[in-house]
Structure 1
Amino acid sequence: MAGRVVVGVDGSASGLAAVEVAAREARLRDAELRVVHAFLWPAMHPPPGPFPLGPPAGGVRNTVERLVAEAVERARTTEAEVQVSRAVVTGEPLTVLEAQSRAAGLVVIGSRGMGGFAGLLAGSTAVHLAVHGRCPVLVVREEPRADGPAVVGVDGSAAGEKAVDFAFAEAALYGTGLVAVHAWTMGNAPRPTARDASVRYTNRSAGLAQGEERLLTEALAGHRERYPEVTVRQEMVHGGTREALIEASRSARLMVVGARGRGGFAGLLLGSVSQALLHHAHCPVAVVRGAGTDH
Structure 2
Amino acid sequence: MADDDARHSWTMAGIHTAVELDGGVLVGDDGSACAEQALRYAVGEAARRGTDLHVVRAWSIPTAVRPPDAPFGTTPSIVEMQDATLAETRRRAEVAAAEHAGVTVHAHTAFGKAGKALLSAAAGADVLVVGSKGRSKIADMLVGSTAAACIREAKVPVVVVR
TM-score relative to the length of structure 1: 0.43
Q: String of CA shifts for 1:215-242, please: whole Å, max 9, x gaps.
A: 2022112222211111111111111111
- Count the aligned residue pairs: 138
Secondary structure class of the residue paired with 1:159:
helix
The one-letter code sitting in structure 1 at the alignment partner of 2:62 is: G
CA distance in 1, matches of 2:100, 2:147: 25
Identity %: 33
User: For residue 37 of structure 2, what is the aligned residue in structure 1?
Assistant: 162
Larger Rg: 1
Q: String of CA shifts for 1:39-98, please: whole Å, max 9, x gaps.
A: xxxxxxxxxxxxxxxxxxxxxxxxxxxxxxxxxxxxxxxxxxxxxxxxxxxxxxxxxxxx
Contact 2:56–2:118 (Cα < 8 Å) also in 1: yes
Q: Does 1:283 align with 2:156?
A: yes
CA distance in 1, matches of 2:90, 2:100: 15
Structure 1 residues 199 and 224: CA distance shift in structure 2, 3 A:
farther
Q: Does 1:258 align with 2:121?
A: no
Q: Which has the higher helix share?
A: 1
The one-letter code sitting in structure 2 at the alignment partner of 1:218 is: R
Structure 2: runs of 5 or more not aligned: 1-21
Q: Does 1:184 align with 2:45?
A: no
CA distance in 1, matches of 2:144, 2:133: 10
Structure 1: runs of 5 or more not aligned: 1-146, 290-295
Secondary structure class of the residue paired with 1:219:
helix
Secondary structure class of the residue paired with 1:186:
coil
Q: String of CA shifts for 1:1-55, please: whole Å, max 9, x gaps.
A: xxxxxxxxxxxxxxxxxxxxxxxxxxxxxxxxxxxxxxxxxxxxxxxxxxxxxxx
Contact 1:260–1:267 (Cα < 8 Å) also in 2: no
Q: String of CA shifts for 1:236-295, please: whole Å, max 9, x gaps.
A: 111111111001111111100001222xxx579625100000100010000001xxxxxx
User: For residue 93 of structure 2, what is the aligned residue in structure 1?
Assistant: 220
CA distance in 2, matches of 1:171, 1:182: 18
RMSD: 2.4
User: For residue 248 of structure 1, what is the aligned residue in structure 2?
Assistant: 121
The one-letter code sitting in structure 2 at the alignment partner of 1:172 is: A
| Residues 54-203 of structure 1 aligned to structure 2 (within 5 Å) | 148-189=23-64, 192=66, 195-198=68-71, 201=74, 203=76
CA distance in 2, matches of 1:196, 1:251: 35
CA distance in 2, matches of 1:283, 1:231: 21
TM-score relative to the length of structure 2: 0.75
Post-superposition, which runs of at least 4 consecutive aligned residues in structure 1 deviate over 4 A? 266-269
By how many angstroms is 1:176 displaced? 0.9
